[in-house]
Amino acid sequence: MYKLTLSSRGNPDFGQDSTRSLPGVADLTIEVVDFAEASQECRSFIERNGLGGGNWSGGSIVDAEGKLVGQVSYNGKVWKAGEDFKLGATPIFNPHPEKSEPADKFAYEIARIEVPGLGTLEAQGCFRAAVIKSMPGSFKIDGQDVEFYVNASYKPKGKIAFHGRSLSVLPGGDLRQSQQAPQEFFLAIKAALTKWAATPEAQKLVIRNDIKDQNRSIGWHDHAIGIAKKQIAEHEANQAAMRERIAAYEQELERFERGSSPKL
């Protein structure tokens, strides 16, 4: 058995007091047998009290020894304690069935770039959208693991443009704990990426990825064109039916002119 906390708080984004529970919503601690029941109880509590994401403060799952073993997020997913806001974390229970997706034939190629003395970056994307991030567990600042994305764009002829003059990192990968990296750390990242982007291998990778991106867009347009053609066919069929109706009406009017009684 586990003990589960069900609680709320005010949302400061709407001028509510975040240090107190919402008026009329009583905090509860209940027993549950497993993570699935914990997820269900949390979602029932949220829906029953009309809570928004900013009002949810419960979801702590404690075992018989009083150890925090899980956290239920607003959407009902159960996370390992401390990982509910961790970049790249996987829930230990997901109430939403995972869809079986076919392999993405347009998936980007990924390059790994060593930043001397610091760690390894993963770079992918195309000219439209560069995706450059740290490999999990690769970089540290003052002895603490940090995760980050580099805000940049690939340019023709092996160039790379960086957006902003600083780099935000997430200590421990926690999305709530963003902080600015030391400038020398950021400069080392920029230097490694600039050197890599100028190589023929990097330029070819970006071009191949851009071809995939263009083919993906062509597929999207094919889908949109198919929908449009179906709609056009429906409109043309409606037009044809209306023209037939007009022709029938005109024949009836001719019968009126000839003095015969039309059958309407």
Please report which helix (H) or strand (E) contains residue 211, including its range.
helix 200-257
In a domain, 11, yes or no: yes
Q: Are 128 and 194 contained in the same domain?
A: yes
* Neighbouring C-beta atoms of residue 163, cutoff 10 Å: 9
Residues 121-171: pLDDT tens digits? 999 999 998 999 999 999 999 999 999 999 999 999 999 999 989 999 999
Asked if residue 261 has pLDDT above 70, the reply is no
Q: Flag the least confident range among 89-93, 225-229, 241-245.
A: 89-93
pLDDT band at 113 (very low <50, low <70, confident <90, very high): very high
Residues 36-57: pLDDT tens digits? 999 999 999 999 999 999 999 9
Q: Are 197 and 125 contained in the same domain?
A: yes
The neighbouring-strand residues paired with 60 are 71
Q: What is the mean pLDDT of residues 220-241?
A: 97
Residue listed under structure tokens 């509510």? 16
In a domain, 105, yes or no: no
Last residue of a domain, one of 79, 101, 119: 79
Q: Are 74 and 121 contained in the same domain?
A: no
C-alpha dist (Å) from residue 71 to 45, 87, 197? 15, 15, 41
At 141 the three-state DSSP class reads strand
Q: Are 67 and 116 contained in the same domain?
A: no
If one compares 257 and 147, the residue with the highest pLDDT of the two is 147
Q: Are 72 and 115 contained in the same domain?
A: no
- Residues 252/264, Cβ–Cβ less than 8 Å: yes
In a domain, 136, yes or no: yes
- Distance in angstroms (rounded) separating the CA atoms of residues 56 and 76: 11
**Number of domains comprising the chain:** 2
Asked if residue 194 has pLDDT above 80, the reply is yes
Last residue of a domain, one of 158, 175, 204: 204
Q: What is the mean pLDDT of residues 111-119?
A: 97
Contacts of range 93-96, beta carbons closer than 8 Å, 24 or more positions apart: 93/35, 93/36, 93/38, 93/39, 95/36, 95/39, 95/40, 95/43
pLDDT at site 147:
96
In a domain, 103, yes or no: no
Nearest in space to 1 (alpha carbons), one of 35, 25, 28, 24: 35
Whole-prediction pTM: 0.71
Last residue of a domain, one of 60, 79, 98: 79
pLDDT band at 12 (very low <50, low <70, confident <90, very high): confident
- Distance in angstroms (rounded) separating the CA atoms of residues 229 and 245: 24
Q: Are 180 and 122 contained in the same domain?
A: yes
pLDDT band at 99 (very low <50, low <70, confident <90, very high): confident
Q: Are 67 and 132 contained in the same domain?
A: no
Q: Are 134 and 195 contained in the same domain?
A: yes
pLDDT at site 264:
52
- Distance in angstroms (rounded) separating the CA atoms of residues 140 and 114: 14
Q: Are 135 and 65 contained in the same domain?
A: no
pLDDT at site 15:
85
In a domain, 196, yes or no: yes
* Phi, psi of 110, rounded to the nearest 5 degrees: -120, 135
Asked if residue 263 has pLDDT above 80, the reply is no
Asked if residue 32 has pLDDT above 90, the reply is yes
Q: Which domain holds residue 13?
A: 2-79
In a domain, 169, yes or no: yes
Tell me what the pLDDT averaged over the chain comes to: 93
In a domain, 16, yes or no: yes
In a domain, 181, yes or no: yes
- Residues 195/160, Cβ–Cβ less than 8 Å: no
- Residues 189/146, Cβ–Cβ less than 8 Å: no
